Structure formats: structure tokens, C-alpha cells
């Protein structure tokens, strides 16, 4: 089955707009004395294809994403202690199995709950689904994350192949219909589409890619994704001879979502995935 024959919906995706200034945004509630964020957005309506019919043809090294059945023993994904105690070991074993990695280091997790009308990072509210096209790490910040987290082992680990892979799943007890995640086939992304951008923390400045619009981009999503499914996202890869090194993604508003659909709840794990030299 080809992309042209797959079912699809049309969704509005927020790309980076024209700017002469380096884009920046904040990972915290900025103070009035902080410089303002700079992230001009340019919405484009794009076809977003159902990836279920081709799920068995997807590869993290080709398209940059993969869907798999991955049942979890976690009862409450909002319980951070249970997530670390139960989900982390499950996910580590799962990612090792899928990638053939020798080691997986889970460095972060984030739950999101869409609250209609609430802006992301609103004080005291839950994190909202990300609504702009982006890649979490860059060619520079991926290896830097290894140096930040792995201490004396970092340089030895960086002699081998290192990937940043996210594991994303909905955590409702019913199929997800609200604010699904859209993923872009890495083969359709040119290097010029990716724009290094500052992600400002209180104590450091990270780097992500914002993404310029390219009509060649091919987008996919998982309709009615279930809690028992995991979507693997290739965020970054030090290997350079593959098509999927940096995979853009974003949430979007599905026009077929019923008005009484429960707002999205999801969790993503961020991991460093190591392969020996």
C-alpha cells in the first residue's frame, strides 16, 4: 500500500515562520525580566495519513518512527514513583529488544493532559500537548545530552552509535481521539528544513530543531491509539548513513474527533540508546 492510497485526515500543522532572529522558547514560566520568546509560527494544512495499514513496514532507521504492541503493568501513569519503578524497566527491555542496543538509559518522562483553553506551561497546570512541529534534539545537543548525563563514561559511549529515542503512548482507558501525535517521514525532510533553536532553562540553554514548511513532508498518525500501544520516535542519531536521524513531530487537531471525546492524556519517556563501537 502506498502513501497515496492510505486513508488520511487534513490537519493544520504549525511550522516555523520567517525570521531573521534565532528562534527561542522557554522551558519554565519566564519572569517579566526575561527576554521574550521568539517562535513565529506559520500554519499549513497537511494530509496526515493513517499508518496502521503500513505499521509492519516501518523502521526507526528509515521513517524514524515505529508502532508496537507494548503492554504495561503500570496502573497509574500519573504516579511518578510507579512510572519509575515499573515502567522504566519495562521500557528499557522493550527498547533494547526493538533496537538491538547494548544499553538504554531513561533520563526523563513527561505526562501531558490537554485542558481546553489552557496555554502550555501555565502556572500550576499540567503540560499541554506540543502544538508546533519540532525535533527535541539536534546534531549538537544530542551528544551534549550524553556528556551532561553520563559523566566519565560519556566520551567512551560517544565512540559508538548513540540514539535519542522517545517512547510515547496515550494513558486513557479508552482509544485516543483527541490531539493525536503526528510524525513526519524522515526521508521527506531536508537538512535545510531543520532550524536550530534555543530551549531556555533556568540554569542552561538547550538546543532543538524548529522546522520550516516543506510541501514534500509526508505525515502520519495512529487513529484511536490505545494504552497498550507504544509509538517509538527517533529524536536523534549519531549514525550519518541512514535517512532517519531527526524526526519532526507535533500534536494536531483531528477534524474527525467527536465533540464529546475525552481530552488527551499521554506519557513520553526520553531515552539514550547505546550501541558499541
How high is the pLDDT of residue 265?
97
Banded model confidence at residue 120, pLDDT cuts 50, 70, 90: low
Tally Cβ neighbours within 10 Å of residue 234: 28
Four-residue CA torsion sign, 117, 221, 190, 144: positive
Helices (H) and strands (E) in the chain, counts: 4, 14
Four-residue CA torsion sign, 130, 132, 135, 137: negative
Q: Mean of the pLDDT values across residues 2-24?
A: 93
Q: 258 is written with which cell numbers?
A: 467527536
260 contacts: CB under 8 Å, gap ≥ 6: none
DSSP character for 55?
G
Answer whether residue 119 shows pLDDT above 70: no
Q: Given the C-alpha cell 530543531, which residue does it identify?
A: 209
Answer whether residue 189 shows pLDDT above 70: yes
Answer whether residue 2 shows pLDDT above 80: no
Banded model confidence at residue 85, pLDDT cuts 50, 70, 90: very high
Q: Mean of the pLDDT values across residues 42-63?
A: 97
Nearest to 253, CA basis, from 45, 79, 106, 53: 45
93: three-class secondary structure by DSSP: helix
How high is the pLDDT of residue 257?
96
User: Whole-angstrom Cα distance, residue 66 to residue 51?
Assistant: 9
Answer whether residue 11 shows pLDDT above 70: yes
Yes or no: domain 54-275 corresponds to CATH 3.30.720: no
User: Whole-angstrom Cα distance, residue 249 to residue 240?
Assistant: 20
How high is the pLDDT of residue 73?
97
Q: Mean of the pLDDT values across residues 76-90?
A: 98
Amino acid at each position: 500500500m502506498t502513501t497515496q492510497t492510505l486513508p488520511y485526515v487534513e490537519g493544520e500543522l504549525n511550522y516555523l515562520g520567517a525570521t531573521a532572529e534565532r528562534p527561542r522558547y522557554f522551558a519554565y514560566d519566564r519572569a517579566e525580566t526575561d527576554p521574550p520568546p521568539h517562535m513565529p509560527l506559520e500554519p499549513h494544512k497537511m494530509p496526515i495519513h493513517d499508518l496502521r495499514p503500513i505499521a509492519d513496514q516501518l523502521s526507526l532507521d528509515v521513517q524514524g518512527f515505529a508502532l508496537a504492541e507494548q503492554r504495561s503493568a503500570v496502573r497509574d501513569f500519573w504516579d511518578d514513583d510507579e512510572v519509575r519503578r515499573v515502567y522504566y524497566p519495562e521500557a528499557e527491555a522493550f527498547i533494547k529488544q526493538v533496537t538491538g542496543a547494548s544499553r538504554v538509559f531513561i533520563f526523563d518522562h513527561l505526562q501531558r493532559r490537554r485542558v481546553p483553553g489552557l496555554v502550555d506551561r501555565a502556572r500550576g497546570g499540567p503540560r499541554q500537548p506540543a502544538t508546533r512541529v519540532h525535533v527535541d534534539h539536534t546534531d549538537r545537543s544530542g551528544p551534549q545530552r550524553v556528556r551532561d548525563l553520563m559523566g566519565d563514561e560519556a566520551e567512551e559511549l560517544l565512540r559508538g552509535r548513540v540514539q535519542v529515542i522517545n517512547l510515547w503512548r496515550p494513558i486513557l482507558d479508552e482509544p485516543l481521539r483527541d490531539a493525536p501525535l503526528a510524525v513526519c517521514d524522515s526521508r521527506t525532510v531536508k537538512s535545510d528544513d531543520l532550524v536550530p533553536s534555543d530551549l531556555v532553562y533556568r540554569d542552561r540553554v538547550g538546543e532543538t530543531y524548529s522546522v520550516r514548511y516543506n510541501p514534500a513532508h509526508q505525515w502520519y498518525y495512529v487513529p484511536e491509539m490505545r494504552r497498550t500501544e507504544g509509538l517509538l520516535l527517533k529524536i536523534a542519531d549519531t549514525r550519518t548513513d541512514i535517512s532517519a536521524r531527526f524526526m519532526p513531530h507535533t500534536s494536531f487537531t483531528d477534524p474527525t474527533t467527536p465533540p464529546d471525546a475525552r481530552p488527551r492524556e499521554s506519557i513520553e519517556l526520553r531515552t539514550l540508546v547505546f550501541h558499541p563501537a
